[in-house]
Amino acid sequence: MIEINHLVKNYGSKFAVDDVSFKVGEGEIVGFLGPNGAGKSTTMNILTGYLSSTSGEAKVGGIDILENPDEAKKLIGFLPEQPPLYVDMTVNEYLNFVYEIKSCRLNREKHLEEIRKVTKIDDVKNRLIRNLSKGYRQRVGIAQALVGNPPVIVFDEPTVGLDPKQIIEIRNLIRSLGKDHTVILSTHILSEVQSVCDRIVIINNGKIIADERTENITEAVDSTRRYSVKIAGPQREVLAALNALSGVTSVEVTGERELDSYVYLIETARGADIRKPLFYAMAEKNWPILGLESVGMNLEEVFVRITDRAGN
């Protein structure tokens, strides 16, 4: 449904996108993951016809966005990084405006009502956009992308700037849209793509460094488990006892201290689950465990892990 071939975009000697190729099949939800400045927005802006490429091609539904922009754009609903909202319009005025500029032919009342229901903005339909919270504005941004019922939806960092509750709502909305749309969304948050997407395409410095099913990425990333554990007991002895546990590959004191307890960062080997042995070992010594949580990797660490693995 989406096909990007050898896409390049440079600004002088700076390559924002450097030979990017990937495909998204019909009905897939694909996450486009990368840190800030990786080239996500540039790629999405080219794919949606908002920006021209230096070379390479982008096709939607088999239609080249450069050769046939009007036809290709009809197939795409786009939520750019900065949603193009007119804040002096009410939600309804704005959606009607979008309906007009997209020359939509669907039954206006019915179609717009359906979109307001799906995006849960029906209760604010008569409010000025300028008076809406960030979460509602984002949903209005998603609503405009859905006008015309395009089969392909492109979301650029749809949850940036939202609070945790709003993030969950938007993710659920994207998941449900994925049931009958082809979706590509960009993010710099690994857990976001893990929770929403079937497949993850990772971009760094304008280059694709991984393109795999979500399970495979998750497995690569979880192969070493890390825990942060808070234990009340004498630091040196606790450290020695932790290091002696089977499956532990490294232990570090994080420096966090509270009365007689310290926080330790424990890394364990692939497949080892140290939680029970840890509990028994500490109980035997009368060193209470005050807290235990797993620690995820940051994006940098994920990249190192994935590129290391690819190189092996």
- Which residues, numbered 67-96, are part of the site for Mg ion (CB under 5 A)? 81
* Cα gap 154→44, rounded to integer Å: 7
Look at residue 275 and give its three-state secondary structure: helix
Cβ atoms within 10 Å of 84's Cβ, excluding its own: 11
Cβ proximity to Mg ion: between 41 and 119 the closer is 41
- Helices 164-177 and 134-146 pack at an angle, to 10 degrees, of 10
- Smallest separation, CB 174 to Mg ion (Å): 17
Q: Which residue has the tokens 């992308």?
A: 145
148 binds ligand ADP (CB under 6 A): no
Total binding residues for Mg ion by CB under 5 A? 3
- Piece of the chain touching ligand ADP by CB under 6 A; list 9-17, 131-139, 173-181, 282-290: 9-17
* Cα gap 231→245, rounded to integer Å: 15
- Smallest separation, CB 130 to Mg ion (Å): 24
- Piece of the chain touching ligand ADP by CB under 6 A; list 37-45, 67-75, 176-184, 266-274: 37-45
Cβ proximity to Mg ion: between 40 and 111 the closer is 40
> Which one of residues 33, 42, 169, 233 is an interface residue with ligand ADP (CB under 6 A)?
42
42 binds Mg ion (CB under 5 A): no
Query: Among Mg ion, ligand ADP, none, what binds residue 16 when CB lies within 5 to 8 Å by partner kind?
Result: ligand ADP
39 binds ligand ADP (CB under 6 A): yes
User: Is 187 within 8 Å of 157 (Cβ atoms)?
Assistant: yes
Q: Which residues does residue 9 pair with via DSSP β-bridges, in sequence order?
A: 17
Cβ atoms within 10 Å of 173's Cβ, excluding its own: 17
* Cα gap 118→120, rounded to integer Å: 5
Query: Among Mg ion, ligand ADP, none, what binds residue 34 when CB lies within 5 to 8 Å by partner kind?
Result: ligand ADP
* Cα gap 253→250, rounded to integer Å: 10
DSSP state of 232: E
40 binds ligand ADP (CB under 6 A): yes
- Piece of the chain touching ligand ADP by CB under 6 A; list 23-31, 33-41, 221-229, 239-247: 33-41
- Smallest separation, CB 58 to Mg ion (Å): 17
Sign of CA dihedral 135, 139, 140, 142: positive
* Cα gap 17→19, rounded to integer Å: 6
DSSP state of 65: T
* Cα gap 205→130, rounded to integer Å: 36
Cβ proximity to ligand ADP: between 14 and 276 the closer is 14
Query: Which residue is closest to Mg ion by CB?
Result: 41
- Smallest separation, CB 156 to ligand ADP (Å): 7
Q: Which residues does residue 62 pair with via DSSP β-bridges, in sequence order?
A: none
Query: Among ligand ADP, Mg ion, none, what binds residue 37 when CB lies within 5 to 8 Å by partner kind?
Result: ligand ADP
Residues 6+ apart with CB under 8 A from 115: 95, 143, 146, 147
> Which one of residues 33, 41, 148, 251 is an interface residue with Mg ion (CB under 5 A)?
41
Cβ proximity to ligand ADP: between 186 and 261 the closer is 186
53 binds ligand ADP (CB under 6 A): no
* Cα gap 188→183, rounded to integer Å: 17
Applying CB under 6 A, the residues found at the interface with ligand ADP are: 11, 14, 16, 34, 36-42
Q: Enumerate binding residues for Mg ion (CB under 5 A).
A: 40-41, 81
